[in-house]
Chains A and B, each alone.
Chain A
Amino acid sequence: METHFDIQLAKLKTRLFKMCSLVDEQVQFALRAIEEEDMSLAEMVVERDKKVDKYDVKIEKICQKLFALNQPVAMDLRLIMSAMTINTNLERIGDIAVNIAENFIRLRTKPAFLEKTKINQMSMIVKEMLRNAIDSFIQNDPKLAEKVIRSDDELDALNAENHKVLIEIMKEDKESIEPAVTFLVTSRELERIGDHATNIAEDVFFIVEAELIKHKYEKFLFSEVENVEKEIDEEIDEDEKRNGDVQKN
């Protein structure tokens, strides 16, 4: 028998899936706007952010209600905890898509030096990472989530490379400084989308395997949280003791 709680949980999932596809579209559109120099598409991305924000608030409210009224445990607890963080990550990705679109609206055209950068390559990876992160969540697929986590290093490296290339471009041609700075920011924004997609992938591990993966490689089981708390408490105590000693001296 489907309980009221199950119905609410299904509602949460549906909203979150819709938020996923909305944010995915926002990123695709923002990047396509640059690629095709399509101002109206960029403006649409900015306009549609209100819808993303609405979903964010709705999902947050459902989660709060589920926590307050149902005291979820086990699988349900993990799903609702993750839904809250996935929602936050998606909302942030939505904001980044808007930043990318707004930056392009200011520039109005795609600079010629863009071919020398890795922006296109980064865009492709970001789109794939985001799609995989979303699919891994929808399909409860930790293998796909792992693929997302692994891709993040590549994105970081391309961002670093972009910095070098764009600084050289600025040195060579003062006229390029403004667009180069804009794309320096865009490169950083793309790298940030990768970070948020990685966070979503880490949450998929948490939902399916009850494994907390934080900062990419630190893995521990959710049920070992007590031990981790103890370790953290000990570290804080040591820090406080050390600070106390420093102050005394």
Chain B
Amino acid sequence: MDIKISVKNLEAFYGKNKVLKNISIDIPRNKVVAIIGPSGCGKSTFLRCLNRMHEVIGGTITGSIQVDGEDLTKTDPVLLRKRLGMVFQKPNPFPTMSIFNNVAAGLRFNGVRNKKILTPIVERSLKQAALWDEVKDNLDDSGVNISGGQQQRLCIARTLAVDPEVILMDEPASALDPISTSKIEELIFELKKNYTIVIVTHNMQQAARVSDSTAFFYMGELIEYDKTTKIFTNPANKQTEDYVTGRFG
């Protein structure tokens, strides 16, 4: 198996409070891995550890996280977040910026100012995010003047513009209606051809539909990690079975 991210004995803390306990997991390249589990199980913390956002909010970690064999804890967080882009639960386009500038924001932050360079990248990113046809005539409109589903795809385009290797998605469709959700899910299928995707979701059916493998977290521990088909048809662990069948959590 071609491993993109290798996590070994990861433990995460908020002060003295241990929120992730001895997590070891390999995330394969160009695959979608879904993280499921009840609220407070540590799934979002796990995602934030992967691009060192956990440290930004005052947390600490032990153990190792490697991306393509490179120790993530020794990488500059800014460069790292370029490689591991993140899409959040609530669409968060920059309200004072146009659609074009929202997509170009990451590149501009990294020093690219030339519009001749920016324009094709913005177009490519919006196309990849399946948003281009809907906004190509209104690129100068505000990023918040489009629907919630479009805003979320705009945020995905913004993530794609800096050419990441991994996309981390934290409940990317939980604030969206079913049609927008299905567009995001279709997009995930397309994106995995070029990117490795880790998605945190509360929606079990969504995890079943979009992911290749699923990890079940409970109280900071990784209970079971296997192919999604296995997790949703015949999980090995009783706790996983109880969770996916809705009997606890």
Q: Which of A47-55, A145-153, A217-225 forms part of the interface with chain B?
A: A217-225
Let me know if A121 is at the binding interface, CB within 8 A.
no
Report which of A75, A222, A223, A226 forms a contact with B241, defined as CB distance below 8 A.
A75
What 1/0 flags go to A184-214 for Cβ under 8 Å of B?
Answer: 0000000000000000000000000010000
Within 8 A of B (CB), among A31-82: 71-78
Verify B229–A225 contact, CB threshold 8 A: yes
Verify A210–B245 contact, CB threshold 8 A: no
- Complex CA gap A75/B243 in Å reads 11
- Further pairs besides A75-B245, A223-B229: 17, Cβ < 8 Å: A3-B246, A3-B247, A72-B245, A73-B204, A73-B208, A73-B233, A73-B244, A74-B232, A74-B233, A74-B234, A74-B241, A74-B244, A78-B233, A223-B227, A223-B233, A223-B234, A226-B227
Closest Cβ–Cβ distance, residue B1 to chain A (whole Å): 16
> Which residues of chain B come closer than 8 Å to A3, judged between CB atoms?
246-247
**In chain A, what residue has the closest Cβ to B212?**
A226
Verify B246–A77 contact, CB threshold 8 A: no
Verify B245–A76 contact, CB threshold 8 A: yes
Q: Which of A75, A77, A78, A222 has most B Cβ within 10 Å?
A: A75
- Complex CA gap A78/B247 in Å reads 16
Let me know if B235 is at the binding interface, CB within 8 A.
yes
Let me know if B136 is at the binding interface, CB within 8 A.
no
> Which residues of chain A come closer than 8 Å to B227, judged between CB atoms?
223, 226
> Which residues of chain B come closer than 8 Å to A73, judged between CB atoms?
204, 208, 232-233, 244-245
- The 5 A-B residue pairs whose C-beta atoms are closest, nearest first, are A210-B234, A223-B230, A73-B232, A222-B233, A223-B234
Let me know if A5 is at the binding interface, CB within 8 A.
yes
> Which residues of chain A come closer than 8 Å to B234, judged between CB atoms?
74, 78, 210, 221-223
**In chain B, what residue has the closest Cβ to A71?**
B205
Q: Which of A71, A72, A74, A78 has most B Cβ within 10 Å?
A: A74
Verify B229–A74 contact, CB threshold 8 A: no
Q: A3-B246, A226-B229 are in contact. Are A74 and B235 (CB under 8 A)?
A: yes
> Which residues of chain B come closer than 8 Å to A222, judged between CB atoms?
233-234
- Complex CA gap A75/B245 in Å reads 8
Closest Cβ–Cβ distance, residue A6 to chain B (whole Å): 8
Closest Cβ–Cβ distance, residue B32 to chain A (whole Å): 14
> Which residues of chain A come closer than 8 Å to B204, judged between CB atoms?
71, 73
Closest Cβ–Cβ distance, residue A5 to chain B (whole Å): 7
- Complex CA gap A89/B178 in Å reads 38
15 CB-based A-B contacts, threshold 8 Å = A5-B246, A73-B232, A73-B233, A74-B233, A74-B234, A74-B241, A74-B245, A75-B241, A77-B232, A77-B233, A210-B233, A210-B234, A222-B234, A223-B234, A226-B229
What 1/0 flags go to B220-239 for Cβ under 8 Å of A?
Answer: 00000001011011110000
Closest Cβ–Cβ distance, residue B50 to chain A (whole Å): 27
**In chain A, what residue has the closest Cβ to B205?**
A71
Closest Cβ–Cβ distance, residue B49 to chain A (whole Å): 28
> Which residues of chain B come closer than 8 Å to A223, judged between CB atoms?
227, 229-230, 233-234
- Complex CA gap A78/B205 in Å reads 16
- Complex CA gap A81/B60 in Å reads 47
> Which residues of chain B come closer than 8 Å to A5, judged between CB atoms?
246
**In chain A, what residue has the closest Cβ to B241?**
A74
> Which residues of chain B come closer than 8 Å to A221, judged between CB atoms?
234
> Which residues of chain A come closer than 8 Å to B241, judged between CB atoms?
74-75
- Complex CA gap A210/B233 in Å reads 8
Within 8 A of A (CB), among B197-215: 204-205, 208
> Which residues of chain B come closer than 8 Å to A226, judged between CB atoms?
227, 229
- Complex CA gap A74/B238 in Å reads 11
> Which residues of chain A come closer than 8 Å to B208, judged between CB atoms?
73
> Which residues of chain B come closer than 8 Å to A74, judged between CB atoms?
232-235, 241, 244-245
Closest Cβ–Cβ distance, residue A212 to chain B (whole Å): 10
> Which residues of chain A come closer than 8 Å to B230, judged between CB atoms?
223
**In chain B, what residue has the closest Cβ to A5?**
B246
- Complex CA gap A75/B247 in Å reads 12
Closest Cβ–Cβ distance, residue B223 to chain A (whole Å): 14
Q: Which of B227, B235, B245 has most A Cβ within 10 Å?
A: B245
> Which residues of chain A come closer than 8 Å to B235, judged between CB atoms?
74
> Which residues of chain A come closer than 8 Å to B247, judged between CB atoms?
3
- Complex CA gap A221/B230 in Å reads 9
